[in-house]
Structure formats: C-alpha cells, structure tokens
C-alpha cells in the first residue's frame, strides 16, 4: 500500500494549467492511456507525460498499468479537496443557501 501525503498546494497548482484542465475533462469521459491523451493535444508527448505526473502528484489522477500502456483516470481525492475548499466560501455567492442554513439552525423554514 502506498501512502501519499496529498499536498493541497500541489493540487491547486495542478488545476491552474489549462492543458491539465483539458486533460481532466478528457479523463472525465473515460480512462485513457497516456498516448491516447497526448494524441489529442498539439504539444509533445513528453509534455503531456509531465502534465500527467503533476496531476498524479496533485491527487487528481491515478494510473493503472496494463502491459506497455498506462491508463489514467480521475481520482476523487484531489478534486474533492478543491471542492471542499471552495465550498467553504459558498455563502459569498449563494445568499439563498445562507438563509436556508440559518433557518435550519433555528429549526424552522426560511
């Protein structure tokens, strides 16, 4: 069993790049071999290999090996970490939700 210290810093850096977000979009459809991912971009295959590594280190992607191929798929951990961080500020844009929450705390509907 491999234990990874999932650094939130790495996760935020991972999603900051547009190419990596595009990769995330591709992997949301289905898992894909590294080459399959690379084929869909104009940049070189090694560049994509590095992006995949960064996504892996950010806890956003996990890789499964099958023969000479490495299949990449989305990992819940990383994206959830970002979601939790941002959800913490939800009240700033969802006033309605805020009042609902307050009402719930009071034990009556808002």
Contact residues for DNA, defined by CB under 7 A: 13, 16-17, 19, 33-36, 38, 42-47, 49-54, 63, 67-71
Question: Do residues 76 and 47 touch, judged by C-beta distance below 8 A?
Answer: no
Told to check if 67 binds its own copies by CB under 8 A, we report no
Which one among 42, 67, 93, 105 touches its own copies, defined by CB under 8 A?
Answer: 93
Using CA atoms, how far apart are residues 67 and 76, in angstroms rounded to an integer?
Answer: 25
From DNA, its own copies, none, which one binds at residue 82 (CB under 5 to 8 Å depending on kind)?
its own copies
- Let me know: does 82 contact 15? Beta carbons within 8 Å: yes
Q: Under 8 Å CB-to-CB from 107, ≥6 apart: which residues?
A: none
Select the binding partner of residue 54 from DNA, its own copies, none (C-beta < 5 to 8 A, by kind). Answer: DNA
Give the helix/strand (H/E) hosting 16.
helix 8-16
- Name the site residues for its own copies (rule: CB under 8 A): 9, 12-13, 15-16, 18, 21, 24, 28, 74-77, 79-80, 82-83, 85-87, 89-90, 92-93
């Amino acid at each position: 069993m491999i234990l990874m210290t999932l650094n939130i810093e790495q996760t935020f850096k991972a999603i900051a790049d547009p190419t990596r977000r595009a990769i995330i979009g591709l992997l949301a459809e289905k898992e894909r071999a590294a080459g399959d991912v690379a084929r869909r971009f104009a940049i070189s295959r090694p560049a994509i290999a590095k992006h995949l590594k960064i996504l892996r280190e950010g806890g956003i992607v996990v890789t499964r090996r099958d023969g000479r191929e490495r299949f990449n798929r989305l990992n819940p951990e990383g994206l959830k970490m970002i979601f939790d961080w941002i959800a913490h500020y939800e009240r700033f844009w969802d006033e309605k939700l805020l009042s609902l929450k307050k009402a719930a705390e009071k034990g009556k509907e808002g």
